Every structure is written in structure tokens, then in C-alpha cells.
Structure 1
Amino acid sequence: MTYTAANGLLKKDALALPSALTNFDQLFNDKTPALFMDYDGCLSPIVKDPEKAFMSDGMRKVVADLAEVCFTAVVSGRDRQNVKNLVQLDSLYFAGSHGFDISGPENLLTEPADAKEMLPALDQAQDILKEKLQSINGALVERKRYAIAVHYRNIEDEHVPYVKETVTEVLHKFPVLKEGLGKKVLELKPNLDWNKGKAVLWLLEKFNLNKATIMPVYIGDDITDEDAFAALQGKGIGILVGEHDEQTSATYRLESVDEVQIFLEKLLHYQQK
């Protein structure tokens, strides 16, 4: 099923998307890719413990090789330094906390949304959430510089409503924060007009990648990646990995992290021809 949203975006059921692998030969038309990728669920499998979401050696090698031949960035909801530590590649650009915190080679370090005034509210919200959820076995309150992730993947189903209600209460207490949704996670983020899509567009502009010879590609698996898919619709390629609970603005699909690696290997071969 396909429908056009009020803002003109085309949205589809994930399973209706064509395969990025099957259709690879028609994607680039001799253009140079500018590659943007989420981390969890794309470069690394989704796991119960976020700190054990490791890349395989094969994935790390192909990403490192791609960074030598085209612009390559990881755009994650994780804290920027956290995802950088997991990737272990200094040649990449990193946009952490959904794009609020960006770094890269040649000492790039910037916070383009200027969200510093939100830090006190995030600090207080973190303290309240930890206190209210400490009795819920399996609940995890993960602080990032510009976001708080409340993971409920590992808690009993009967406790999920309480976790969601608690997050809602805290959001009402701090109107400078807004809710973000993901797979088995609720997030509290600065209530600003900034997201992964805005970060991708900022990077394209910053590095003069808005050219007819460049094809932006975004690979993501989560609802938070929809902002990037939407930003690139009509301008680039959005690739959804797996599926989530909503219709998608992506244009192609990959089944799994394994298929992501195969796609990246094909992309590397394309660039090296």
C-alpha cells in the first residue's frame, strides 16, 4: 500500500519496497555516493544490551574501505562518542544524539542545532527517570549528551505501561523536551526542529555534496531514521533495513545486517571500477 502524506511525501509498507540488492545496478547511474548509515540494526545487530552491539570485522573493513573512496557518515541516536568507540574508525563522520552532536576528520566538532540550553532539563529528567524506574527489573535509562533513551526491551510486558506513563509525566514536566520513538525504546530529546534528516542535509551542505554528480544514500532501520528518508526523498536513496511499525518514506529495502554488508561490498566494488 502506498499513500501520499499531507507534506507530499510518499509512504509505503516496508514489505512493498523493492530490494536495494536486486536493483543495485540502476541506483547510481555513474554518480558518486555520499553514504549515511545508522549503527544499531544496520552496521550491528540489535541486541539486548546496547553496549554489546558490536560490528563484525568484515563490516568494519568494508566501511573503512568505503570511507577512502566516498563521504561516509554514521548517524545514530547513540551518544556520539559512544558510537565512535564502537565503530573504531577515525576516517568517518559521526552524528550522535540524532544529529545534535557531529564530529569528523580534520578536527570537525560541532553542535549545529545549538541545543546547549537544554542540558539542565535533560540532567533533571534523567535523575527523575532513574529514581522512578529503578524498581523495574530490566528497565534501562541511557543518557546521551542530547537525549535520554528509556529501553524497555528487557522488562516484563506488565510493566511497559508504567514505563510509558512515567516518560509521559516527565515530558509534561519539561516542555523543552519532546518524545522520540524507536524499537522498544522511548527517548526524550530537545524540543527543537532538528533530527537525523536535518543533520544529513547539514552535512551535505557543509561538504558541498549538493551536486548533480553526488547520490546521497541513507541506510536505517528505525522510526527515527524516517526523518532522514523523508529529507532525501526525491534527492537521494533511502534504504530501510528490515521493518518497523509504521509506513516508510524509504525507497528501497534490505532484509538484515548481513544484506547491508553485501550492499556495502557491492557499493565499494562500484566505486573502485
Structure 2
Amino acid sequence: MIDTNTRLPAPPRDLLGGAGLFLDFDGTLVELQDRPDLVHPDAELIRLLARVGHALDGRLAIVTGRASERIVSMFGGTPFVIGGSHGVEFRWPDGRTAGPELPAGLDDVMAEMRAFAAGHEGVIVETKPYGAGLHYRMAPGAEAEAHALAERLAAAHGLHLQPGKMMVELRAGAGDKGAAIERLMGEPPFAGSRPVFLGDDVTDEDGFRAVEALGGAGILIGPERETHARYRLDDVTAVRQWLARATEAYL
């Protein structure tokens, strides 16, 4: 763990040589928005990821809290591996999918979350195939109540609770982004490569720990904080610029 008194360097340009690249989505490739449904990849990002995937011979995955089907719909297909719902479900470009069984109490959870959102202006419920999220970015005063509700529902229905940036999520399965990276590193095309993971949120620390243990490196996006990442980039713009430069030599 690197503390806040240590300034992390920018990642070197040659870091992606022989690497398997794992990317968070919101806050890393696209700017965070008040409403998650307002986020869409622009044409520049779609072209950039196509170049990155080609440069790395397909060793590219998006590992995100979003449902994999949402990433597929935004990109118009599955041009890379997707570890969705914080790494508990997967989609591969060849059409394969994997995921846990749907939680039995999910309908009841959704009903209580929607009732809570109806009584708290600005709170949004995000539906996911294996769970649901409460977003309170537009209602920060609802944070304590949202977390209390999520904790109660998680205990009542045996769901995994996952806090995030101005949101809290309940889902089936106890996987995380680190476990998703470990799984993908055990199979083609990632096996034998050195993992690199970019992320901005506290939920990405599991990924940073995983790549560190596998001999790779994490890259924190955003302000300095305690982290298991080795490098840091300022923001989404810096991520895109670095990815473009870092893959030029391999095209």
C-alpha cells in the first residue's frame, strides 16, 4: 500500500509491452455523470480501444461495475472481453458468457430501492442483471440512509454489498475486479502476459492488488490517495492520451 505522502509517477510509455490490459470504465475511460444512463462512449474512444486491442493481440478487457450487456450495447458488440458487475459475470468476443444464478430476492430488493428513491429526490436506482445500485450523486444528503437500506437488504437476502463513488450496490456473488483479472489471466489470450489495470475507484483496489501479486502494475486515475497502484494519471483525458502513445510502438 502506497500512502498519500508518496507521489506516484506517471506510467512509462513502454509499460504495455507484453502486457494484458484491464480497464475500468466509468471515471477511467469516460467521465462520471450524475446519471449512469447518460454515459456513452464517443467515437474517439471506440476507435482508440480498437487500436489498443489490435496492438495487444486481443489482450484487452473492460472490468467494470456495469452489467456486461450494457457495455455491449454501448459499443455495438463485444470487441473485447468484458468482466461486468464487478467481475461476477463475463462476456467474450466469441459469444461465450458466464455468470452466477440470479438472486431469488432481487425483485423484492428492487421494489424497496425504488420506494426509497421515490421518497428521496435525486436518488436513482440502476437495474443490473445480478443486482441493483442506488446512486445518490444528486442527493448527497441521502448517503447514510442509502447505505443503511443497502446493509439491511444485503443481510436479509444474502447479497454482496459493494460501495462505490456516491453509490452503493447489491449483487449476487462475492466476486470482485481482482478475482475477475485473476480468472482472465489464467486463459487465452491473457495467459503468460503481464497484467496492467487502470481504475479510479476504491472498488478498483482489488484489481490493483491482483495485478501486483501477478507481477504487473496498477494505474490509479485521479487524485493521490492510499493505493496499491504503482502509477497514476490525472484524469480521463490523460488516460486516453497515454493509451494512444503507449500502443503506437506495437501497431
Q: What TM-score does the superposition give when structure 1 sets the normalisation length?
A: 0.84
Pair 121,16 (structure 1): closer, same or farther in 2 beyond 3 Å: farther
Separation in structure 1 between the aligned mates of residue 189 and residue 54 of structure 2, nearest angstrom: 17
Kindly tell me the number of residue pairs found equivalent between the two proteins: 248
Aligned position for 1:6: none
Give a deviation string over 1:100-120, Cα, whole Å, max 9, x none.
Answer: 111111222122xxx31x521
Pair 249,14 (structure 1): closer, same or farther in 2 beyond 3 Å: farther
Separation in structure 2 between the aligned mates of residue 131 and residue 15 of structure 1, nearest angstrom: 44
Aligned position for 1:196: 177
Alignment equivalent of 2:126, drawn from 142, 157, 161: 142
Pair 50,202 (structure 1): closer, same or farther in 2 beyond 3 Å: same
Give a deviation string over 1:236-273, Cα, whole Å, max 9, x none.
Answer: 111111048x621111111011011111101221312x
1:156, distance to aligned residue in structure 2 (A): 5.0
Separation in structure 1 between the aligned mates of residue 139 and residue 125 of structure 2, nearest angstrom: 12
Q: Any gaps of 5 or more consecutive residues in structure 1? A: 1-9
Letter in 2 for 1:224: T
Give a deviation string over 1:41-88, Cα, whole Å, max 9, x none.
Answer: 111111112111122322221111111232111111011111222233
Pair 267,18 (structure 1): closer, same or farther in 2 beyond 3 Å: same
Preserved CA contact (<8 Å) 1:221 1:242:
yes
Q: Any gaps of 5 or more consecutive residues in structure 2? A: none
Alignment equivalent of 2:13, drawn from 14, 24, 28: 24
1:224-243 maps to which residues of 2 (within 5 A)?
224-234=203-213, 235-243=215-223
1:68-79 maps to which residues of 2 (within 5 A)?
68-70=54-56, 71-79=59-67
Are 1:217 and 2:196 an aligned pair? Answer: yes
Give a deviation string over 1:99-148, Cα, whole Å, max 9, x none.
Answer: 1111111222122xxx31x5212332122221233111011111211231
Tell me, what secondary structure is at the counterpart of 1:16?
coil
1:73-92 maps to which residues of 2 (within 5 A)?
73-92=61-80
Preserved CA contact (<8 Å) 2:88 2:173:
no
Aligned position for 2:146: 163
Preserved CA contact (<8 Å) 2:35 2:124:
no
1:179, distance to aligned residue in structure 2 (A): 1.5
Q: Percent identity?
A: 26
Pair 231,14 (structure 1): closer, same or farther in 2 beyond 3 Å: farther
Are 1:248 and 2:227 an aligned pair? Answer: yes
Point out the more displaced range, 141-150 or 254-263: 141-150
Separation in structure 2 between the aligned mates of residue 124 and residue 168 of structure 1, nearest angstrom: 14
Q: What TM-score does the superposition give when structure 2 sets the normalisation length?
A: 0.91
1:208, distance to aligned residue in structure 2 (A): 5.5
Letter in 1 for 2:43: D
Preserved CA contact (<8 Å) 2:27 2:199:
yes
Pair 59,241 (structure 1): closer, same or farther in 2 beyond 3 Å: same
